[in-house]
């Protein structure tokens, strides 16, 4: 399943319908498949990065992953956390080291391009402008509070009027088929790396969206406190 995920997503990027026409790998299947990974694995490709690691397997604990568009991804460890985060990339996610004791397998799937319409249908027509990060680690206690730090750059080259709207950190809710901002903080712009940074308090598929100000079809923003 791990290699099938990366091949499936690569077929979407390349526009090859032969592997995607049956739509067997919808968002729920992908999220669930990532969450079920048990064996240590790293699959790095120009279009995606799939990782499943045991955080406390070595003295250098794995805390997250990052991706550089059209290049590939890499794991983030405690030893290189500062260097990794303070660098240029298109997307990244990391957990607080205190939360690692609750993680059995740190499972993450980073998808390069924002053009994922075949996977993520959006009933609210919001514009996804970033890579997608699927974070679904296997946990010892599902009731433990969670905070994931997220980092996104705007990858939509057609978005020429970004200043006329707002960016939101969001998660994908398959029940409503839309990107939702509940329990995610308002993104702040890190001008040093031209990226948006936020955090969310749950596990799922994450991204950065943009919408024009005053759009009557969008509900009020529900930022996490």
- According to DSSP, the β-strands at 103-111 and 205-212 are unpaired
**CB 102, CB 140: distance < 8 Å:** yes
Q: Per residue in 47-71, pLDDT tens?
A: 889 999 988 766 788 999 999 998 9
All domains of the chain in start order, with CATH: 2-212 (2.60.220.50)
pLDDT digits (tens, 9 = 90+) for 88-98: 999 999 998 88
**What per-residue confidence (pLDDT) applies to 14?**
55
What span, in angstroms and rounded, lies between the C-alpha atoms of 166 and 164? 7
Asked if 162 contacts 188 with a C-beta cutoff of 8 angstroms, the reply is no
Cβ–Cβ under 8 Å, residues 56 and 159: no
Nearest CA to 109 out of 210, 8, 224, 22 is that of: 8
- The larger pLDDT score, comparing residue 114 to residue 218, is at 114
Report, in angstroms and rounded to the nearest whole number, the Rg of the chain calculated over CA atoms.
17
User: Is pLDDT above 50 for 223?
Assistant: no
pLDDT band at residue 7, thresholds of 50, 70 and 90?
A: low
Question: Which is more confident, 135 or 122?
Answer: 135
Other CB atoms within a 10 A radius of the CB of residue 174 amount to 14
Tens digits of residue pLDDT in 186-216: 999 999 999 999 999 988 899 999 887 766 5
* Torsion from C-alpha of 191, 166, 162, 118, nearest 10 degrees: 110
Give the residue with greater pLDDT, 49 vs 114.
49
Structure tokens at 63: 């805390």
Nearest to 209 by CA among 95, 157, 123, 131: 131
Which of 23-27, 109-113, 174-178, 196-200 is predicted least confidently? 23-27
Of 222, 146, 154, 151, give the one whose Cα is nearest residue 184.
222
Size (the chain), residues: 225
Return the residue matching tokens 């080291």.
97
130-181 pLDDT tens trace: 999 999 999 988 878 889 999 999 988 777 677 778 899 999 888 888 888 8
Does the structure show a pLDDT above 70 at 11?
no
Position 100 scores a pLDDT of: 86
């Amino acid at each position: 399943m791990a290699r099938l995920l990366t091949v499936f997503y690569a077929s979407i990027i390349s526009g090859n319908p032969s592997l995607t026409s049956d739509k067997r790998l919808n968002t729920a299947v992908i999220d669930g498949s990532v969450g079920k990974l048990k064996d240590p694995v790293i699959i790095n490709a120009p279009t995606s990065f799939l990782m499943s690691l045991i955080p406390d397997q070595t003295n250098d604990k794995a805390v997250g992953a990052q991706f550089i568009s059209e290049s590939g991804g890499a794991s983030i460890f405690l030893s290189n956390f500062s260097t990794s985060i303070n660098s240029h990339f298109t997307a990244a996610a990391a957990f607080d080291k205190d939360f690692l004791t609750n993680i059995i397998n740190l499972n993450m799937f980073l998808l390069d391009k924002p053009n994922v319409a075949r996977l993520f249908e959006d009933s609210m027509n919001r514009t996804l402008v970033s890579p997608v990060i699927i974070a679904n680690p296997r946990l010892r206690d599902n009731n433990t509070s969670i905070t994931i730090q997220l980092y996104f750059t705007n990858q939509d080259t057609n978005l020429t009027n970004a200043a006329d709207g707002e960016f939101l950190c969001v998660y994908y809710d398959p029940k409503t088929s839309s990107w939702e901002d509940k329990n995610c903080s308002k993104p702040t712009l890190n001008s040093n790396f031209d990226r948006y940074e936020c955090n969310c308090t749950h596990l799922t598929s994450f991204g950065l969206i943009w919408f024009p100000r005053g759009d009557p079809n969008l509900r009020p923003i529900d930022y996490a406190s």
